[in-house]
């Protein structure tokens, strides 16, 4: 399987994240990508398609913010990395503010995702990696892997969060649409619900979003991913959420993924994007499912037998020592 990665994706390396009332070491470390790269035996460098396919998903003001926030933070005299602390609660009227703290609140969904001077470079490269894998599949590959890092599925059209800045799965799906694939589906099997992807396609009937994830009643991102969220307007019925309890093992996960695949099959996609997170692994330090390394081959085969052209993008997975084996095993199932 062709696989893609750009070294510039390593530039984003926050030291700390604010979580559970204190600063802890940042979980989404560059070593994640290096571990995967070693396990899969390297990857091709993506090309550079510029920002047009990124702007097809993300707001221009948000992209400018991602580029400018670190300098604004510095100019404001702040030490460390840019982190928001005040958020415009739902239904506040839109205000056109310029203070860095206000912008951080507008463009972030949490305080666990610092923006560093290397963030834009890494996120941009991660998006190019997703696009390269998408082009490979559009050109006839049955499946291709984008070693995206930073990940993407928590990022919305105009906000970051959950270690994500640019929604690489959405950028891949949109690029496939713009290349003429009429019906695109996204299967999200990261431990966490992909709130950003859901938001981006919430009212659209051209991209189906199905997610298997930890119940948001107990797990981040809390405010999205409940079973009754099904999309709205033209997108009604084109979103499927399958929350599972902590402790979930292969059988229940596989059943839920099968339900997602059946819904995607009924919808008849021209191309599938898989948001793959290995944070469903039993030893993940921030998650609560109990999949084993061998389970990933079974889950991958269930997806592969459907036969859709498939772009696999990397999302979460924080047990760095096991990450390479988990990802390699998943890819080996295709
Ligand atoms: C892409 C993805 O998997 N994002 C996950 C975001 C989860 N954020 C909330 C949980 C933060 C837990 N932080 C643990 C810090 C350990 N140093
Ligand atoms: Zn995750």
- Annotated active-site residue 154? The verdict is yes
Does residue 109 fall inside a structural domain? no
164-183 burial: b if 16+ Cβ within 10 Å, else e:
bbbbbbbbbbbbbbeeebeb
Environment class of residue 41 by beta-carbon count within 10 Å: exposed (0-12), middle (13-18) or buried (19+)?
exposed
User: What CATH number corresponds to the domain at position 17?
Assistant: 3.40.800.20
Does residue 137 fall inside a structural domain? yes
Q: What is the 152 CA–ligand 1 centroid distance (Å)?
A: 13
**Which residues approach ligand 1 with their CB closer than 6 A?**
17, 19, 24-25, 27, 112, 151, 154, 162-164, 190, 192, 220, 277, 279, 286, 315-316
Q: What is the 232 CA–ligand 1 centroid distance (Å)?
A: 28
Q: What is the 152 CA–ligand 2 centroid distance (Å)?
A: 10
Q: What is the pLDDT of residues 170-226, one digit of tens each?
A: 999 999 999 999 999 999 999 999 999 999 999 999 999 999 999 999 999 999 999
Does residue 328 fall inside a structural domain? yes
Does residue 135 fall inside a structural domain? yes
pLDDT of residue 92: 84
Structural domain boundaries, residue 40 = 2-58+121-332
Position 90 confidence tier, pLDDT thresholds 50, 70, 90: confident
**Smallest CA separation from ligand 1 atom 7, residue:** 162
Counting the structural domains of the chain, the total is 1
Does residue 20 fall inside a structural domain? yes
Query: In this prediction, does ipTM exceed 0.85?
Result: yes
Does residue 23 fall inside a structural domain? yes
Mean pLDDT of the chain: 97
pLDDT of residue 50: 98
Position 22 confidence tier, pLDDT thresholds 50, 70, 90: very high
pLDDT of residue 88: 86
Does residue 82 fall inside a structural domain? no
Sign of CA dihedral 288, 293, 295, 299: positive
0.95 exceeded by the pTM?
yes
Does residue 266 fall inside a structural domain? yes
Confidence check: pLDDT of 256 > 80? yes
**Mean of pLDDT values over 39-68:** 98
């Amino acid at each position: 399987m062709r696989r893609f990665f750009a070294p510039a994706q390593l530039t984003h390396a926050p030291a700390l994240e604010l979580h559970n009332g204190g600063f802890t070491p940042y979980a989404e470390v560059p070593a994640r990508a290096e571990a995967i790269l070693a396990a899969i035996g390297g990857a091709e460098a993506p090309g550079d398609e510029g920002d047009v396919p990124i702007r097809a998903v993300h707001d221009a003001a948000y992209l400018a913010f991602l580029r400018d926030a670190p300098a604004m933070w510095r100019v404001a005299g702040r030490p460390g990395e840019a982190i928001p602390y005040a958020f415009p609660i739902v239904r506040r009227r839109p205000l056109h503010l310029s203070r860095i703290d206000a912008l951080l609140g507008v463009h972030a969904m949490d305080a666990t995702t610092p923006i560093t001077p290397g963030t834009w470079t890494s996120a941009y490269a991660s998006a190019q990696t997703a696009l390269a894998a998408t082009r490979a599949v559009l050109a006839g590959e049955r499946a291709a892997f984008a070693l995206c890092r930073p990940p993407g599925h928590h990022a919305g059209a105009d906000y970051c969060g959950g270690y994500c800045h640019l929604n690489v799965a959405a950028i891949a799906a949109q690029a496939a649409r713009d290349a003429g694939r009429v019906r695109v589906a996204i299967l999200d099997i990261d431990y966490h619900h992909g709130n950003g992807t859901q938001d981006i396609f919430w009212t659209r009937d051209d991209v189906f979003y199905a997610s298997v994830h930890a119940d948001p009643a107990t797990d981040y991102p809390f405010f999205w991913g409940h079973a009754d969220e099904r999309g709205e307007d033209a997108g009604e019925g084109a979103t499927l959420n399958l929350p599972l309890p902590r402790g979930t093992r292969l059988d229940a996960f596989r059943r839920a993924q099968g339900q997602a695949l059946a819904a995607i099959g009924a919808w008849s996609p021209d191309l599938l994007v898989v948001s793959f997170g290995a944070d469903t692994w039993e030893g993940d330090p921030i998650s609560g499912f109990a999949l084993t390394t061998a389970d990933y081959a079974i889950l991958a085969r269930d997806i592969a037998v459907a036969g859709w052209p498939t772009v696999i993008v990397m999302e979460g997975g924080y047990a760095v020592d096991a990450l390479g084996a988990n990802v390699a095993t998943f890819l080996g199932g295709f």
